[in-house]
Every structure is written in structure tokens, then in C-alpha cells.
Structure 1
Amino acid sequence: MAVRLYALDGCPWCEKASDALDEAGIEYETEWVDALHSDRDEVKRVSGQRGVPVLIDEDRGVTMSESANIVKYVERTLA
């Protein structure tokens, strides 16, 4: 499974997304992003915006942001 989480160190919303993945036992790769929005070109390229967290599920062709949406997706689809 190819799951990637774009996250910012110390971001509480990113931690919620990461915790949901951990609790579901999902293997994933974390891509740590820069604190400055203007330096988040990779996040913008994959998601169309610069906010985090962003979850990429390559196997299902899913890209999503917003921690609440990510948690629901993990619980309903990946767990």
C-alpha cells in the first residue's frame, strides 16, 4: 500500500491524521513540510493547496486534506 502523509512537525491536525493511521496499523510515509506556506511547493503540486495535513493514497487514487476527512477515510476505507 502506498500511503503518504504530508505533515508539519508540531501541527495538532497533522498529529490527528498520523494517530489515525497508526491506530489502524497502516504503513505510511511521512513527508515533512516547511513551516512557511510559501515554501510548500510539493504540497501544492500534489493537492492544489499548501495546507497540511494532506493524505495521498496512491493505490486508490485519493488525495485529501483536512484532518477530520483524513480520519474518516482511514477509519472507513483503510482500517
Structure 2
Amino acid sequence: MTDITMYDLPGCPYCAKVRSKLEELDLEYDVIEVPRSHADRTEVERVSGQTGVPVITDEANDVEGMHESDDIVQYLEETYA
């Protein structure tokens, strides 16, 4: 198990942006695929308080439920670059 977990929806361009940054920085991470239906996204809602994706958690830095792809990319660059 890794410290970073990403909540992802295949085909989501915002998720792809975050995945690309994680891979660019050569970071290991776990992926949890969320259902297409927002009503069924109970796990990501529990973690982040909303149903949109992408969302990441980073146990090493006490980050839980960070959303918004631009914010996540900026966080990853500042923390891991």
C-alpha cells in the first residue's frame, strides 16, 4: 500500500491530468475507481465532502480529500518535485 490514493473515473480529463503528474514525478499511488453516477460515489464523498473527481489523499502529509485537479497538481509539484 502506498501513501497516495487517487479517486479516479476512467475517461475523465481532469483525472488524466493528475495521473500524468503522478507518473511524471514517478510517484507510486493506489487508484480507486469511482462509479459514473454521482449518487453512488459514497466513498469519495466520505473522504472529500463532495462527489467530483479527481480526489487524492496523502497519508504521509496528512492530506485527506484534496480535490480540484489544478490544486492537486500544484500540491504534488510543491511537495514531491
- Tell me the alpha carbon deviations over residues 26-68 of structure 1, each in whole angstroms, 9 at most, x when there is no partner: 1001111000000000001111111100010011111310000
Identity %: 48
State the TM-score, normalizing by the size of structure 1.
Answer: 0.96
Quick check: 1:62 aligned with 2:66? no
Structure 2: runs of 5+ lacking an equivalent:
none
Q: Distance in 1 between matches of 2:46 and 2:62?
A: 15
Deviation at 1:78, TM superposition (A): 1.9
Q: Which amino acid is 2:28 matched to?
A: E
Compute the RMSD of aligned alpha carbons. Answer: 0.8
State the TM-score, normalizing by the size of structure 2.
Answer: 0.93
Matched residues, number: 79
Partner SS state of residue 76, structure 1: helix
* Runs of 4+ with >4 A deviation: none
